Amino acid sequence: MELLKERIRREGVNMGHGILKVDSFINHQVDPALMLAVGGALAARFAHLGANKIVTAEISGIAPALMTGLALGIPVVYARKTKPVTMHPNTMKASAPSHTKGVMTELMISPEFLGPRDHVLVVDDFLARGETIRALVDLVRTSGATLIGIGAVVEKRFEGGRAALANLNVPIETLAIITDMSNGRIVLE
């Protein structure tokens, strides 16, 4: 997706240690027009698979997941990081390390919104090591739902996430692939 790649080239900041700052358009300030295009692009890649739900992680995955859900006409369920009093007492839980925060993050989904009848597309902002996406997949499987695919806005190919998720045997699609971030560079495929 050339529009996304151009924004990464223009506004992305290599902060070292594999951290790409895209706060100005993806995960702090969100560009709605870009996210609408991202959602349309992801939806086009997965439309034929028959998803009836999208699962993502709070908070940065919500914008691309929501726009993908809009394009596909299906609801989005986001895994919460803190449990509100309104959440079902028997939440499904999985943990993943946060690369940017340096802590383990617990993700929770209520069984009210994800279950055995669901065919799920997992969407997130980044595919790096695959750990957050793996936690989301664990939640999907715990619910009894069927995983049909994984989509991400940006893939940091050099961190090995795609390979770590290959055994899931579902399509993995990303819209911008970064192949190298050494020496302060951001190299896009």
Q: Which domains does the chain have, with CATH numbers?
A: 31-179 (3.40.50.2020)
Helices in the chain by DSSP H: which ranges? 2-11, 32-46, 62-72, 131-143, 161-165
Three-state SS for 174? strand
Per-residue pLDDT of the chain (189 residues; tens, 9 = 90+): 999 999 999 999 999 999 999 999 998 999 999 999 999 999 999 999 999 999 999 989 999 999 999 999 999 999 999 888 888 889 999 999 876 667 899 999 999 999 999 999 999 999 999 999 999 999 999 999 999 999 999 999 999 999 999 999 999 999 999 999 999 999 999
Three-state SS for 30? coil
Report the chain's C-alpha Rg in angstroms.
16
Per-residue CA distances from 16 to 26, 99, 112, 128 (Å): 19, 12, 40, 14
